Amino acid sequence: MSVIAWLRGRPVLRGVAILGPAVAIVLTAGRLLTPAGQDAHDPSPVTAAPGPVIAGPPAPEAASPGQPTARPPVPDAAALAAAGAVAKAFLVGYASYRYDDGPGVLRSKLRPYDTDTFDGSLAQGGGAGVGLQQRVQQHEVASATVENVNSEGLAPDGRLVMVALVSQPITSDQGPVMRPRYVELFLVDTASGWRVDGVMP
């Protein structure tokens, strides 16, 4: 007797025989719908790949589809020399002060060397005004000498990064001191030449 004829004589098993191909199709479809490389009965979860981590200075906006992303060219030796000269002039004004300076003194000293964006931040109270009350109380006066300026290449947003060592001779009611400090500058090449667009003291 054939297997099919034997199943036809048994109602319960006949239903199983009829459903068998359908169950096989469902199980096969379930296996095809699982992620590649994972068995349909594998209980281990599928973890999505982590997204990119954004850190440091803000990245430029992504280009439109089909539009190539333009990166600024790496400055040559002449451009670096010009940027370094602007950085030094900027730092002399940035790191020198008097305790009785008015609120617009720093902006006027830096205006020939900074961008409109940086000047706007100074207008909102940013800049080298940390410890202003202490400076006034101690009649503090500082001058600045730039010892060296080195290029650190381009930041992710395309700005030129330069690091400088500045010496500050300071006099006050507490006596004279010499304060060395490192300052990181971000410069951009504008139609008027290199300009400082950001500072990290």
Question: Identity (one letter) of the amino acid at 167?
Answer: S
- Is CATH 3.30.450.20 correct for 77-200? no
Nearest to 167 by CA among 185, 152, 182: 182
Burial of 99 (0-12, 13-18, 19+ CB in 10 A): middle
Amino acid 176: pLDDT: 96
Give me the phi and psi of 7, to 5 degrees please. Answer: -70, -35
Domain definitions of the chain by residue range? 3-33, 77-200
What does DSSP assign to residue 114? B
Is this prediction's pTM over 0.75?
A: no
Amino acid 133: pLDDT: 83
Digitized pLDDT (tens) for each residue of the chain, 201 residues in all:
554 554 455 554 444 444 444 434 433 444 434 444 444 444 444 333 333 333 334 444 444 454 445 667 889 999 999 999 999 999 999 999 999 998 899 999 999 999 999 999 998 876 554 577 888 999 999 999 999 999 999 999 999 999 999 999 999 999 999 999 999 999 999 999 999 999 997
The separation between the first and the last C-alpha atoms of the chain, rounded to the nearest angstrom, is 94
Amino acid 156: pLDDT: 95
Structure-block tokens of residue 15: 């239903």
Per DSSP, the three-state class of 149 is strand
Amino acid 183: pLDDT: 97
Q: What's the length of the chain? A: 201
Amino acid 1: pLDDT: 53
Can you give the C-alpha Rg of the chain in angstroms? 35
175: left (phi over 0), alpha (psi -120 to 50) or beta: left
Nearest to 185 by CA among 51, 114, 87: 87
Cα(195)–Cα(86) distance, rounded to whole angstroms? Answer: 7
Cα(25)–Cα(186) distance, rounded to whole angstroms? Answer: 63
Give me the phi and psi of 38, to 5 degrees please. Answer: -120, 130
Amino acid 9: pLDDT: 53
Cα(70)–Cα(92) distance, rounded to whole angstroms? Answer: 34
